[in-house]
């Protein structure tokens, strides 16, 4: 499989949530703004598909003023070396699988098949890992909702939680979690492809690193589900007040609060199940 790195140019008033959502739903990863001027926005995304012509045509059909600035193709190995890097947070040591050495100290190895979230040392991932690293209780069960590549599920497994359920809406991401469980010889992570907590009856710990929109969406029942404690992140600082109101509405008492590079996270306790 090849990875296409695409750069597009569009007028600022057309660079909207609708455009971003459309790109994500079409399979775009790592969407980032490269340049902003009063006259245009240049942004970049990555596609993990064999044929990109059809998807680019769909982009242009839905956004007629969209222009393709550049297109670069990388092999998966080239992309992995560009994106994957070591990460150490507390007791957790993550390392790309292609850097594995014989007889080295214990690492959690990560591979990537589809560029699932969790591979690029994002501040929200680090916030969640720091909270997990400080866990002292012995939890029986945990859910990782919006699991991405499973990095948080892998960390939960390392602190001896007996049963972990990793849930992600993207089937490809679930395959990536399975791959990372396999290479780390982990068997207590159960993977569900979906976008709802309704299938989970009750757990000790909920971990969810997802955008604010997911916490607002009552259909997925993230915060309405039955859990005792939670670790939540994925929200930008500018949305702090709205996020805290959602937390309060769902009877969650904040025990710890964290901020990192413009993002926030909390560790809380459900006061009413």
Binning pLDDT at 50, 70 and 90, where does residue 49 land?
low
| Contact in structure between 94 and 87 (CB atoms under 8 Å) | yes
Taking Cα atoms as reference points, which of 264, 234, 266, 238 lies closest to residue 250? Answer: 266
pLDDT digits (tens, 9 = 90+) for 107-161: 898 887 666 666 667 899 999 999 999 998 889 999 999 998 999 999 999 998 9
150: left (phi over 0), alpha (psi -120 to 50) or beta: left
- Identify the bridge partners of residue 47 per DSSP, sorted by sequence position: 4
Is a pLDDT exceeding 90 seen at residue 170?
no
Q: If you count them, how many residues does the chain have?
A: 273
Of the listed ranges 34-38, 135-139, 178-182, 233-237, the one predicted with least confidence: 34-38
Residue that is written with structure tokens 């413009």 in the block: 262
Predicted confidence at residue 201, as pLDDT, reads 81
- How many Å apart are CA 139 and CA 118, to the nearest integer? 23
Average pLDDT, the chain: 88
- How many Å apart are CA 181 and CA 47, to the nearest integer? 24
């Amino acid at each position: 499989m090849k990875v296409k790195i695409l750069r597009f140019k569009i007028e600022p008033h057309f660079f909207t949530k609708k455009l971003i959502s459309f790109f994500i739903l079409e399979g775009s990863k790592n969407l980032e703004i490269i340049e902003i001027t009063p006259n245009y926005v240049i942004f970049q995304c990555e596609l993990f598909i064999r044929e990109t012509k059809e998807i680019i045509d769909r982009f242009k059909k839905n956004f007629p003023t969209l222009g393709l600035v550049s297109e670069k193709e990388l092999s998966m190995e080239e992309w992995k070396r560009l994106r994957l890097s070591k990460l150490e947070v507390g007791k957790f040591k993550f390392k790309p699988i292609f850097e594995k050495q014989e007889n080295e100290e214990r690492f959690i190895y990560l591979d990537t098949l589809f560029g699932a979230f969790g591979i690029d040392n994002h501040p929200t991932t680090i916030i969640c890992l720091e909270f997990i690293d400080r866990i002292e209780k012995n939890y029986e069960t945990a859910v990782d909702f919006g699991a991405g590549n499973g990095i948080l599920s892998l960390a939960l497994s390392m602190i001896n939680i007996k049963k972990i359920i990793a849930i992600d809406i993207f089937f490809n991401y679930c395959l990536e979690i399975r791959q990372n469980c396999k290479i780390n010889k982990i068997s207590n992570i159960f993977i569900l492809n979906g976008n709802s907590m309704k299938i989970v009856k009750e757990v000790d710990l909920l971990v969810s690193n997802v955008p604010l929109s997911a916490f607002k969406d009552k259909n997925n029942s993230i915060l309405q589900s039955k859990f005792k404690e939670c670790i939540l992140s994925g929200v930008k600082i500018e949305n702090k007040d709205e996020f805290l109101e959602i937390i309060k509405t769902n009877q969650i008492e904040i025990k710890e609060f964290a901020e990192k590079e413009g993002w926030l996270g909390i560790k809380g306790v459900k006061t009413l199940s």
